[in-house]
Amino acid sequence: MGPPVPHLLTLADVSPAQISRFLCQAHALKQLSQPWLLPRPQLPSSSERSSLNSPFRGRRTPSQSLHAKTIALLFSKRSTRTRVSAETAASILGGRALFLGADDIQLGVNESLRDSARVIGGMCQGIFARVGDHSEIEELANHSPVPVLNALSSLWHPTQILADLLTLHEHAHLFPGALPAGTPHFLTPERHDHTLLSPLQSLPPLTVAYVGDSANVLHDMLVTYPRLGHSLRIASPPQYRAPTPVWDRVVELGCDKGIHWTDDPREAVNGADVVVTDTWISMGQEAEKEERLKAFNGYKITETLCQEGGAKPHWRFLHCLPRKQDEVDDHVFYGPRSLVFPEADNRKWTIMALFDLLFGKWDISTTEIRHRDAFEYDKGLRWGGIAQAVNDVLDDRQAYDSHPSRRREIPSDARQGYESRQTYRRENPAAARPPSERRQAHQRDPLAEALANPPTQPEIDTDRSPSWLSGSRE
C-alpha cells in the first residue's frame, strides 16, 4: 500500500506552518518563473545567463513536477481567475490541465460522484474541483485515488485566501511594523550562489476588516488569519453570518477569540489595516438579489466610510473579483489603496505552489527545515520555511539543456563537484578568473592562435638513450 492520498479542502485542515510553506513555495516559484515568461525571440545563451545585468542570471527553470501528468479541472461553476491560473500553472510545471465543465462529462448526472472520482482519478494525477455544495467535493475526496484540491465550494475557498496572504506579504512595506528593507538573504552564497531569490517579507500583526456577506472567502479567512496573528473585524447583517459547520471549525481551532462581529460597517473598519469585501450575490443566489441588496444597503466600501469609521491612514483594499458597483466605488477599487489586481495575479502562483506540492509531490507536510540558523517570522511564519521552499525547487532533479523539451538527469555527484570547485576557488583566489576573462577565453579562436604562434621544433639530441627514440619520456 502506498502513502495516504493528501487532499486540501480548506485551510482549516492544515497548520500555520503548512500555510507558511505554501506561501513560501508560491513566492519561490513566482521568482523562478517570471524571467522565463518575458517576451524573447529565443532562449537565452549561456553567456547571457551569466551576465550580471541579465534577468536570467542564476535562474533555473521552475520545478517540472507535473511532467507527463494531467490535472482534471472539474468546474460546475463559471470561472475566470481560477481556470486561467490553473491552466497556466500546470503548463509551467510541465503538465497539462484538462478542463471538464458541467456539460462535458457525466459528473453527478448519469454517474455518481463516487464513480466519477474513481474513473477520473485513474486517468489523471490530480483533481482541482470547483463545485456547488461542499458535500460534493468531500465525496470526491473520499473516493479519489489521487489528490483533490478545492477550487471553490459553498463553504470554503482556500486558494483565494492564500493569494490574499501572498499579496499582503509582498506589500508588507506598506504597513508599519514590517521588517526593514535589506534584511540579509536566507541562502548563503557559498551553497546557492547560482540562485538569486529574495525572501518573502514578514507581516506585522494586522487588523483586517471584512464588510459584506459571510461567504466562502470569509470562511477561510476566519480559520486562517487569527492563527497567523491577525485580528478580524466583520460587518455583516445578522441573518448573513457564518453557518454552523464553519463556526464550529472556527471555535475548534480557537480562532473565535480574534474575531469581532458587528452589523455596522463603520465599526468594523475602525483601526483597520486592510479592508476586504466580496460579492453580495454569489452564483446560485440570483433569486435573492433584491432581498440581499436591501439587506446590504450602506455596506459599500468608500473612502468616506473608511474615514468616518476610523480606518488607519495606510489602509489597503482587497476584493477577490468579479466586482460589482454596489460593493465598492471606483475611487477605491481603481485607486492607490487597491491591491485587487496583484491579488488576482497571485492566484496563479499560489495555485502553482499547491499543484507542485499536492499533485506533483504528494507532500504538503512541514518537513525538517535545513537552515536552522534562519530567524523566525512574526506569529509563526519562518524564514526557514522560505529556504525549505526554495530547496524544494532546487532539489528537483530535472534540468534543461538548450531547450525545455530536452531534459537530462543531473548526476548525483554533480552538486558535489560544483561545491568542490567553489571550495577550491575560495581557497585559491588566483585560480578564480573574473567573468570578463572567462568570456574572453570562451570566445578565443584556438585555430587562429595556433597559426599565429606555430610550435617550435625541438632539436634532436643524439646523446639521448634509445628509449627516447621509441617514444618514452623521462
The catalytic residue positions are 320
| DSSP annotation string for 370-390 | S-TTPPBPGGG-BHHHHHHHH
User: What phi and psi, each to the nearest 5 degrees, are found at residue 286?
Assistant: -60, -30
Cα–Cα–Cα angle for 217, 282, 210, nearest 5°?
Answer: 35
The DSSP code sequence of 147-176 is -EEEEE-SS--HHHHHHHHHHHHHTGGGST
CB 185 within 8 A of CB 151: no
Cell 471584512, residue?
210
Other beta carbons less than 10 A from residue 457's beta carbon: 6
What single DSSP character describes residue 355? Answer: I
CA distance 428 to 313: 55
Q: Where are the alpha helices (DSSP H) in 325-382?
A: 330-333, 340-354
CA angle in degrees (0–180, nearest 5) for 222-228-229: 95
Residue 100: strand pairing partners: 74
By the 10 Å C-beta count (0-12 exposed, 13-18 middle, 19+ buried), 359 is classed as buried
Q: Are strands 70-75 and 96-101 parallel, antiparallel or unpaired?
A: parallel
Residues 393/62, Cβ–Cβ less than 8 Å? yes
Please, which residues bridge with residue 129 across strands? 74, 150
Report the residue count for the chain.
Answer: 474
User: Measuring CA to CA, which residue among 16, 74, 10 is closest to residue 242?
Assistant: 10
Which of 256, 206, 271, 209 shows the shortest CA–CA distance to 234? 209
H or E, element range at 198: none
Buried b (16+ CB within 10 A) or exposed e, 223-261: bbbbbbbbbbbbbbbeeebbeeebbebbeeeebeebbeb
> Among candidates 161, 132, 223, 156, which has minimal Cα distance to 7?
156
